[in-house]
Structure 1
């Protein structure tokens, strides 16, 4: 099966033959798709998603860029494989109407932690067509949880999309902030006291609310804000 056929297969319902497991290979390939994914994730963990190019990946695999195309169609195909790998590692609970809020929060938190372990990788998830079977497994699980909690189908569908989008955007912002913080001239962005000083030093007549509530504006860690936003979305669904 060539890379295009493999990619198409990931977007199709599994066949009985596929569910029975892959057929044994007649010969061992020098590089496997799993090795490509493992190596790409290692590059991202060490250097960030922006460093991952087909040439950089080929170098890490000690091969030429052209040889990668025997395993992946293109960079978009690689992105699907990477996000699919992370999604496959999420533990999806059996939907429980009495615990659906905690369950949906757990799935989002697991995905957040996966993304944060590979700086910038959530960029690959943005605007990705949700038809890859591994990513569909996660959206299916989230939809099942919300429906079990009594959320109407349309609201549950859009909420699933909104939650996945928020998790990806939150993690991408965090990775960009860390990258910028590596430069001395922007380190103050991560220094709450310095940011607080700058906000309170603004002219109060022009920025009355910012200066008065600078402490609130700069309060909390990244995960505090993440939990706050999840709660807003979940509570909104409850009120509907």
Structure 2
């Protein structure tokens, strides 16, 4: 029996878009943006695409594959400078600040970068660019590789902590997230015989904004990298 073009079911089937890596990535980002990273599963992505999980298996096999696609999509937006031996620290801060800001746009997405082996072209591109900056600064290759891992780990952890704080604030959990004033009052009320240093320096301990502390920690890590002689 021939197909009837007037059949609504057949028209919907004809209009149905094919599943592609790009559409999977778009749907995964939509889930993270609207529901948070904890909600991201293959089944949830399939539901956003209006299909079943088995339809995705031609492109992805596990949740790790989605993680790689997500980080690759974000890293495609990272602009890499031409490595400058005279400004390599500033260049690293610039690249990692871009990565931090991209992570913060999607709650918890930096978890996808933790313990992930990068395979997407864009993730590898950014890793190559960071390595090139470190090498241009005179850092020997093994130290540069380890430093890149340490810096990347810190940026991922920083963004994850920020997303958790935002989540708790939305849930109005006062026992978990305290204001600076509340934290200062808590520290200065501690028993002086047990916590003399915390009481005496409470204001300094809680000082600074998140971005200021971010820059401080990157600087702390980078300033301990010594260029090789010659």
Which residue in 2 is equivalent to 1:138? 126
User: Residue 100 in 1 paired to residue 88 in 2?
Assistant: yes
Between the two proteins, the alignment pairs up a number of residues equal to: 213
The counterpart of 1:47, out of the listed 19, 35, 44, is 35
TM superposition shift of 1:187:
6.1
TM superposition shift of 1:198:
0.9
CA–CA distance in 1 between the matches of 2:179 and 2:192? 22
Which residue in 2 is equivalent to 1:33? 21
Which residue in 1 is equivalent to 2:11? none
The range that moved more, 55-64 or 156-165, is 55-64
CA–CA distance in 2 between the matches of 1:202 and 1:183? 28
How do 1:157-236 residues align onto structure 2 when only pairs under 5 Å count? 157-186=145-174, 189-236=177-224
Answer whether contact 1:90 1:107 (CA < 8 A) is retained. yes
TM superposition shift of 1:67:
1.6
TM superposition shift of 1:68:
2.0
CA–CA distance in 2 between the matches of 1:145 and 1:185? 42
CA–CA distance in 1 between the matches of 2:92 and 2:81? 9
Q: Rg bigger for which structure?
A: 2
CA–CA distance in 1 between the matches of 2:156 and 2:176? 24
TM superposition shift of 1:188:
6.1
Q: List gaps (5 residues or longer) in structure 2.
A: 1-15
TM-score normalised according to structure 2 size:
0.87
Q: List gaps (5 residues or longer) in structure 1.
A: 1-27
TM superposition shift of 1:236:
0.9
The counterpart of 1:58, out of the listed 21, 46, 53, is 46
CA offsets per residue over residues 172-214 of structure 1, 9 Å max, x none? 1111122222233336624111111111111111011111111
CA–CA distance in 2 between the matches of 1:176 and 1:145? 31
CA–CA distance in 1 between the matches of 2:18 and 2:178? 45
The range that moved more, 228-237 or 127-136, is 127-136
Local SS of the residue matching 1:150 = coil
Which residue in 2 is equivalent to 1:68? 56
